């Protein structure tokens, strides 16, 4: 499955939002989400979010990964970007999605918006045959760890990684086993 097909599924399940791929040209309009989350960027990158950082992320993938399977999208309402998702489809294994970044506009955090989007994302992943959702959270980002745990993700280990800024950070790896259960319930949702 490629990013366009996955985006279509999200659009059909979240009709109240415009879901638009983020391009280098549209990053300026997405910066409101990044600017409202400067504490996140200072924690993870050690520097504030920048337009050039947003633009660099448009094509950032692991070595050898097919860019057609990268989903970098904004969720919009009333011509305002309110959330950003960066996800790899079929990574690190074909039956897995990998959430590289998920940010909700700072003014809308705590409203249930993030949970709603991720619930739909996980359900869409399940419905299209994926078995796992994985991600990594900066070790000292307790707020993010709590968010993902509430959605059913479990800690699977610790490692270190190098951020786009070159900063080396410790991360907690997390995973949600997406299971087909009676009644279409997804574990953790």
How many CB atoms lie under 10 A from the CB of residue 79?
7
Higher pLDDT, 38 or 163: 38
Is the pLDDT assigned to residue 181 strictly greater than 90? no
Rounded Cα distance, 44 and 163, in Å: 8
Higher pLDDT, 102 or 167: 102
DSSP 8-state assignment for residue 185: P
Q: Tell me the three state secondary structure of residue 16.
A: coil
Considering only CA atoms, which of 96, 71, 101 is closest in space to residue 11?
71
Total length of the chain: 189
* CA neighbours closer than 13 Å in the CB half-sphere of residue 138: 18
* Torsion (CA) 165, 24, 105, 128 in degrees, nearest 10: -100
Full-model pTM: 0.90
Q: What's the pLDDT tens digit per position in 41-84?
A: 888 878 889 898 889 888 888 889 999 999 999 999 999 999 99
Tokens 């097909």 belong to residue:
5
Please give the class, per CATH, of domain 3-131: alpha beta
Rounded Cα distance, 147 and 37, in Å: 15
Residue ranges of domains in the chain: 3-131
Q: DSSP assignment of 12-73, as one string?
A: HH-TTSEEEE--TTTHHHHHHHHHTTHHHHHHHTSS---HHHHHHHTT---TT--GGGEEEE
């Amino acid at each position: 499955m490629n990013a366009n097909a996955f985006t279509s599924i999200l659009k059909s399940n979240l009709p109240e939002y415009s879901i638009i791929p983020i391009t280098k040209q549209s990053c300026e309009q997405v910066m409101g989400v990044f600017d409202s989350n400067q504490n996140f960027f200072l924690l993870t990158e050690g520097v504030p979010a920048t337009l050039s950082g947003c633009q660099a992320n448009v094509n950032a993938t692991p070595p050898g990964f097919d860019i057609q399977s990268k989903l970098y999208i904004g969720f919009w309402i009333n011509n305002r970007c309110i959330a950003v998702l960066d996800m790899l489809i079929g990574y690190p294994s074909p039956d897995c999605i990998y959430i590289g970044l998920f940010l909700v506009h700072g003014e809308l955090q705590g409203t249930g918006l993030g949970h709603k989007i991720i619930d739909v994302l996980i359900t869409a992943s399940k419905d299209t045959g994926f078995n796992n959702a994985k991600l990594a959270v900066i070790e000292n980002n307790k707020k993010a760890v709590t968010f993902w745990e509430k959605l059913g993700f479990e800690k699977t280990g610790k490692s270190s990684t190098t951020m786009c800024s070159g900063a080396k950070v410790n991360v907690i790896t997390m995973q949600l086993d997406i299971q087909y259960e009676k009644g279409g319930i997804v574990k953790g949702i």
